Structure 1
Amino acid sequence: MQITQLRNATIIIALGEYRILVDPMLAPMGAIPPLKYATRHRRRNPLVKLPENTDALLETVTHCLITHCQKGHFDHLDRAGAKWLRSGKVPVFCMQGDAGFLRKKGLMVTELEAGKTQPFLDGLITPIPCIHGIGFVGRFMAHGYGYHIEFPEEPSVYIAGDTVLSDDVRRCLVSSQPDVSVVPAGGARFDLGEEIIMGVEDLEKVTRLTSGVVVANHLEALDHCPVTREELRGLREQKGLGDRLRIPMDGETLQFPA
């Protein structure tokens, strides 16, 4: 298995003959308004360009997987991403609650069912509920799902989606023990309220809940995600995590042997 980090939540997972694009945010740098306004220096999103090898990587994509996309979550499917999927007629997997929304965008959709393990390409997929923020802010968020994916002769992979460290996430990490877990670690928050995804503290807890490799993303691409790669490298060194905590740069491909 290979996982290529494009930007923020956007990754490409190579499993067998398939190349699965997850949560495509493909807009140019600075094309989208800020998410934080109570600051002296407002910054438009995304904060960084897509890596130079993006077009070549996208040419390999066979399918797309969406964790959530409504209530303004452009960082998981923006206009550029939807246009690219539509023009390429790329098959899209999503949860039932997002299917109608995506069909209205002209996408070819296959619905996944909550609460069950089900066929997915040549393997199996289990949706895991997300909690994309708690309290006041959480009421306005699209909470979505992460996915635990199992393929024959490939490492199992858990894509956490946008979530804090909830009971469902803990349960998946402890009971399923994924070989690889891709988790949001940017500590995103708006001008008001608590973190809406995991940050440094939750990421460290994740590494104690699973014996597998943890891949951190949602880093340095949006104005409301303050956690940096440098901070996470410090955590890795301090806790002696070594290769168990991977912090890919945009455009980097990680290899995971069967």
Structure 2
Amino acid sequence: MVHRIHRSPTMRITQLRNATLIVHVGQYHILVDPMLAPMNALPPLRLFARKRLRNPTVDLPANAAAALAQVTHCLITHCQKGHFDHLDRAGKHWLRERQIGVICTPHDAAYLRQRGLNVQPLLAGHATPQPFLGGTIQTVPCTHGLGLVGALMEHGVGYFVALPGEPSLYLSGDTILTDAVRGFVRQHQPDVCVVPAGGAHFDLGGDIIMGVHETIAFAQIATGRVIANHMEALSHCPVRRLDLRQAALTAGLAYRMVVPEDGEMVDLR
């Protein structure tokens, strides 16, 4: 099902760092998965690497404070089992101080309430769209790695957001490219998809998010624009933006794939 745009859209996305971004749409500014700690404030994610780099490996961009000052809502894809790269202590403090409404799954609601956040959980279940900002929102299951590593991960969800007169938006969450993801994209064909492309992995086991190959394969399934992030900010994400851009060019997808720099705003109108 392809969603048509019936009036002039306003949607833009500001990529802040890693999976942290802001969706701007009319009067709403929706923060996604805030990791707001300064550079090197968080522990390493590769314990047996030659260099045990602390995280994040880069600071927030210079325009982060101004962008964050606009935020009206927050979406959390996953946050338990130590996933500080999607909600760290600084992000919790920032949300708690401002009492920003935090939209999350029922699974994460109690965890976030215990930390003093203004939690607005969705109903249980992935199949049914629910009301959201005058449109709808639907959760989509993630697979954050397979095997033993996958068994230890918090898999979380992605979000499919459809607002009147705006591009339909799929925020995939942290996932590898599974049959469930393929099926969802083929069925809904979002106008815009945001996917994690950093190829993250630990000392043992396979990738826990998409890398170059799977991101290109995803973009070949999707018919809309693909925005790739989750790169060049964490010590266990080896994919470079330059390499993904080159792969997109080689695959004939450069006209539909956007690989934004930190701080870059992508206009989806």
Which residue pairs with 1:143 in the alignment?
A: 155
- 1:50-199 alignment to 2 at 5 Å? 50-113=60-123, 114-115=125-126, 116-199=128-211
Distance 1:101 1:111 in 2: 11
- One-letter code aligned to 2:201: R
Structure 1 segments, 4+ long, off by >2 Å, are none
Q: CA deviation at 1:243?
A: 2.6
The Cα of 1:134 is off from its aligned counterpart by: 0.4
221, 227, 237: which one aligns with 1:225: 237
Residues 198 and 232 in structure 2, CA contact (< 8 A), matched pair in contact too: yes
Q: 1:212 aligns with which of 200, 224, 245?
A: 224
1:255 aligns with 2:264: no
1:16, distance to aligned residue in structure 2 (A): 2.3
Gaps of at least 5 residues in structure 1 are none
Percent identity between matched residues is 56
Question: 8 Å contact 2:245–2:254 — kept in the other structure?
Answer: no
TM-score when normalising by structure 1: 0.98
TM-score normalised to the size of structure 2? 0.94
Structure 2 unaligned residues grouped into runs of 5+ = 1-10
Paired residue type of 2:194? V
Please tell me the residue identity of whatever aligns with 1:137.
V
Task: Output the CA distance in 2 between the equivalents of 1:246 and 1:127.
Answer: 23
Tell me what 2:32 maps to: 22
| Partner Cα separation in structure 1 for residue 134 and residue 62 of structure 2 | 31
In 2, Cα distance between equivalents of 1:179 and 1:156: 5
CA RMSD across the alignment: 0.7
Residues 165-197 of structure 1 show CA distances to partners (whole Å, capped at 9, x for unaligned) of 112211221110000000000000000001000
